[in-house]
Amino acid sequence: MPDNAPRAISASLLAWYDVHARALPWRAAPGSNAPDPYRVWLSEVMLQQTQVASAKPYFEKFVARWPSFEALAAAEDAELMAAWAGLGYYARARNMLACARTVAARGGLPDNEAGLRALPGIGSYTAAAIAAIAFGQRAVVVDANVERVVPRLFALAEPLPGARPRIRTLTDSITPDARAGDFAQAMMDLGATICTARAPRCLICPLRAQCDGFASGAPEAFPVKAAKIPKPQRHGTMFWVERDGQVQLVTRPAKGLLGGMRALPTGPWSDTPPGLEGAPIEADWRLLDARVTHGFTHFNLDVALAAVTITAHSAGEGIWWPIADLDSAGLPTVFAKAAMIFRRDGCAG
């Protein structure tokens, strides 16, 4: 790649972005003043491990309900967790609430990467993105799209994840001093709409002339990825306890997977099927034929489903939630899947 290529890359990409930038509810128009830092921060937290299309309706719901750090800081934990349900990676929601309370207490969001990294739930990427997009600071922003675009631009043969330090160095080399926020968002848009994982649209790419991957004739060969390690398989049982049109819910422990969320009672998640171990009450349980499968970050889960109906005077502690209004409980996705099957197939009767 020629010595002047980094300057040409940033100039070409910004010119393309000025015309083709995606209209997103948390963005300012290209070349405009930085948008509200709260909206930038909220969007970046939601976009961690979540696609733009999935995050948009949640973002719009959140800013309508909690339009500022101060408003979000005053939210009840359970209220926020219920509103987050379905976005996954629930530690983000807990950290988001802690961050909002910290920012509200200090009177504003820090405008630099070091200050941002000190806040709950903000790592190196998120700090760089907020610093660049919300405050116009030069920062090296490397998301999943950049991890695809940059190895193609430079035909980087080193495989991920080991190549990440080199990718950051190369991204630094093409990041301009001015309009760093626009440049970061332009890289995201390029990766999302043109330099896609499969079938990249190289013929309309603004960086085709500078792209070593395109010149190689096999841009899809980059980035090189190490072989995937299969996820462990775990098993569990979820329990549906119904009485008088209500179902028993529990609040999961604050720490751990899906911490603080409302959920159906469940037994242990183990390497072998646990049967009825961990059932919330002694009962004549009926095992449903249907099962639920769900993929978490570090393991896959296979869940058996057991149901029973009890009388109003039977034992059974926990939260009793109207079945007709169960969608408002904010169940995590894996429990929402199970609830749909229980409601469809009926419980023990």
For helices 37-47 and 52-65, what crossing angle results, to 10°?
A: 140
Residues 23-61: b if buried by 16+ CB within 10 A, e if exposed: ebebbbebeeebbebbbbbbbbbbbbebeeeebbebbee
Contact by Cβ (8 Å): 60, 90:
no
Are 193 and 210 in contact by the 8 Å Cβ rule? The answer is no
Q: How far is CA 105 from CA 68, 70, 75, 81, 102, in A?
A: 13, 8, 14, 21, 5
Q: Are 58 and 87 a contacting pair, CB within 8 Å?
A: yes
- Residues paired with residue 302 on neighbouring β-strands, in sequence order: 235, 293
Which SS3 state, helix, strand or coil, does residue 22 take?
coil
- Active-site residue set: 44
CA neighbor of 22 nearest in space, from 186, 213, 238? 186
